[in-house]
């Protein structure tokens, strides 16, 4: 078997999109944005949700019209040539083995809410997660797609129950409006924190061929997922503003216990929020692993990388590529534990890489999409440039990757051309 077969539909895709974006921050980021902007966090999330929509639309349009396992790398290659496309693909591969283990480490904040695991026990638990990711993907993304759709419904249900229990009314909304006007600087800072919640849009495009009908379902799935995530973050932020906590730890657990403190749900906040937080964080890592494996498989078929990774198993999964990605992740996790280093410090560098991927995808859309989408493309490009400016020196890692990889990809292209002529 050498072709990936589509097996997921619109709503499963929306579930994948939502859980990918909710990720490790679903019950953490609202608390962080409130810490820097207070009531201005609501404005920050509203602006961020609206600003990200053009980016999501452009990615969805490109993926539905040009479904390919290489995702953004394929779009950029079609628009600007082989060297540009392969360069972007490789910098994506370089960031996954670092960013994904960091996300796993962050997910363990929710584990602490349930049971404290330290030392070698924590390392064993983290490596067990890597093994679980292999099992989830062995028979194809449709298995985890169904699970992640159910997870999305569970998160929505919990947030909806909490919002209903809060008894939000007009007077409460007016009380937020009467607060001192938030400073622009704090709102911008909150937006910078919240931006990380929307990283993952690009990962979905690698899975376009896993959809039954990408032309019909890809864009709706991505838009439903993006809007749903924005609404969830807005509601979670509003809940934390209405039920403030002066305790250390996850504020959402405190809000859960206060709002649902009857006999049935008494003291269950740590269990419910902890389990959902862990599952959502793992769902994000799962999609990125599947995306990276498909990109590695695609590059192997095209001769960019060794042919070893071009084989699919009986379920149409690039198992060798997946095993390689997960093995590198396990090694990075182990190295981090042994050296007592924190991968969270590298997350900002990883985000710089995604800014480059997003911006070049927007620019490729200028050539690949109809001119009627130009306003959306411009809006998405402006957003990416703004985030890049905000990241400042953290963009250095992505620039180094570009400078190192682009010349090598150009040399490889010339070498392959000479071999064909010989």
User: DSSP string of 255-277?
Assistant: HHHHHT-STTTTT-HHHHHHHHH
Q: With contact defined as beta carbons under 8 Å apart, do 373 and 381 qualify?
A: no
Q: What pLDDT, on the 0 to 100 scale, is given for residue 57?
A: 92
Q: With contact defined as beta carbons under 8 Å apart, do 237 and 194 qualify?
A: no
- DSSP 8-state class, residue 199: T
Question: Over the stretch 303-313, which tens digit does the pLDDT of each residue have?
Answer: 888 888 888 88
| 159 assigned to some structural domain | yes
Q: What pLDDT, on the 0 to 100 scale, is given for residue 1?
A: 46
SS3 assignment, position 211? strand
| 24 assigned to some structural domain | yes
Question: Over the stretch 120-139, which tens digit does the pLDDT of each residue have?
Answer: 888 888 888 888 888 877 77
Which tokens hold the place of 295?
């990109």
Question: Over the stretch 135-189, which tens digit does the pLDDT of each residue have?
Answer: 877 776 666 667 777 887 888 888 888 888 877 554 555 555 555 566 777 887 7
| 2 assigned to some structural domain | no
What pTM, to 2 d.p., does this model score? 0.77
Mean pLDDT rounded to a whole number for the chain: 81
**Number of structural domains in the chain:** 1
| 53 assigned to some structural domain | yes
CA distance linking residue 395 with residue 367, whole number of Å: 26
Question: Over the stretch 313-347, which tens digit does the pLDDT of each residue have?
Answer: 877 788 898 899 889 888 888 887 887 765 556 66
Q: With contact defined as beta carbons under 8 Å apart, do 352 and 397 qualify?
A: yes
| 4 assigned to some structural domain | no
Q: What pLDDT, on the 0 to 100 scale, is given for residue 38?
A: 83
Q: What pLDDT, on the 0 to 100 scale, is given for residue 61?
A: 92
Q: Give the chain's radius of gyration (CA, Å).
A: 21
CA angle 24, 295, 307 (to 5 degrees): 140
Is 50 exceeded by the pLDDT of residue 196?
Answer: yes
Beta bridge partners of 211: 8
Is 80 exceeded by the pLDDT of residue 281?
Answer: no
33 compared with 24, residue with greater pLDDT: 33
| 367 assigned to some structural domain | yes
Q: What pLDDT, on the 0 to 100 scale, is given for residue 59?
A: 93
Cβ atoms < 10 Å from Cβ of 340: 6
Q: What is the CATH classification number for the domain harbouring 231?
A: 1.20.1740.10
Mean pLDDT for the stretch of residues 190-208? 78
| 368 assigned to some structural domain | yes
CA distance linking residue 41 with residue 190, whole number of Å: 6
Cβ atoms < 10 Å from Cβ of 393: 9
Q: With contact defined as beta carbons under 8 Å apart, do 148 and 133 qualify?
A: no
State which H helix or E strand residue 38 sits in: none
- Nearest residue to 323 via CA among 167, 176, 134: 134
Instruction: Give percent above pLDDT 90 in the chain.
Output: 11
Beta bridge partners of 8: 211
CA angle 240, 241, 245 (to 5 degrees): 60
| Backbone phi and psi for residue 178, each to the nearest 5 degrees, phi listed first | -80, -10
- Which structural domain range is residue 274 located in? 10-421
| 267 assigned to some structural domain | yes
- Nearest residue to 322 via CA among 132, 106, 107, 142: 132
């Amino acid at each position: 078997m050498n072709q990936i077969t589509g097996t997921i539909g619109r709503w499963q895709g929306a579930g994948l999109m939502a859980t990918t974006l909710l990720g490790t921050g679903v019950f953490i980021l609202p608390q962080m944005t409130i810490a820097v902007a207070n009531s201005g966090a609501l404005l920050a999330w509203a602006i961020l949700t609206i600003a990200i929509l053009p980016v999501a639309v452009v990615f969805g349009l490109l993926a539905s019209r040009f479904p390919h396992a290489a995702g953004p790398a394929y779009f950029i290659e079609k628009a600007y040539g082989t060297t540009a496309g392969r360069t972007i693909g490789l910098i994506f591969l370089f960031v996954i083995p670092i960013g994904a283990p960091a996300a796993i480490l962050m997910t363990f904040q929710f584990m602490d809410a349930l049971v404290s695991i330290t030392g070698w026990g924590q390392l064993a638990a983290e490596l067990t997660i890597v093994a679980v990711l292999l099992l989830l993907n062995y028979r194809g993304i449709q298995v985890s797609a169904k699970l992640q759709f159910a997870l999305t419904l569970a998160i929505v249900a919990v947030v909806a129950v909490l919002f209903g229990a809060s008894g939000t009314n007009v007077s409460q909304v007016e009380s937020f409006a009467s607060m001192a006007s938030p400073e622009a600087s704090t709102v911008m800072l909150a937006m910078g924190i919240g931006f990380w919640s929307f990283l993952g849009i690009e990962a979905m495009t690698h899975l376009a061929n896993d959809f039954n009908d990408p032309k019909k379902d890809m864009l709706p799935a991505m838009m439903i997922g993006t809007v749903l995530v924005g609404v969830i973050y807005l509601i979670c932020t509003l809940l934390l503003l209405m039920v403030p906590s002066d305790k250390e730890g996850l504020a959402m657990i405190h809000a859960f216990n206060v709002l649902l403190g009857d006999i049935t749900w008494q003291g269950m906040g740590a269990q419910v929020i902890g389990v959902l937080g862990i599952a959502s964080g793992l769902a994000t890592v799962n999609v990125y692993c599947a995306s990276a494996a498909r990109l590695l498989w695609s590059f192997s078929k095209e001769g960019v990388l060794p042919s070893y990774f071009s084989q699919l198993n009986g379920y149409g999964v690039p198992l060798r590529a997946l095993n390689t990605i997960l093995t590198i992740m396990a090694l990075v996790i182990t190295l981090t534990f042994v050296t007592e280093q924190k991968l969270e410090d590298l997350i900002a560098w990883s985000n710089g890489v995604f800014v480059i991927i997003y911006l070049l995808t927007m620019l490729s859309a200028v050539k690949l999409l109809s001119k009627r989408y130009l306003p959306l493309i411009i809006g998405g490009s402006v957003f990416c440039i703004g985030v890049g400016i905000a990241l400042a020196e953290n963009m250095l890692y992505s620039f180094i990757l570009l400078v190192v990889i682009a010349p090598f990809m150009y040399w490889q292209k010339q070498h392959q051309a000479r071999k064909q002529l010989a």
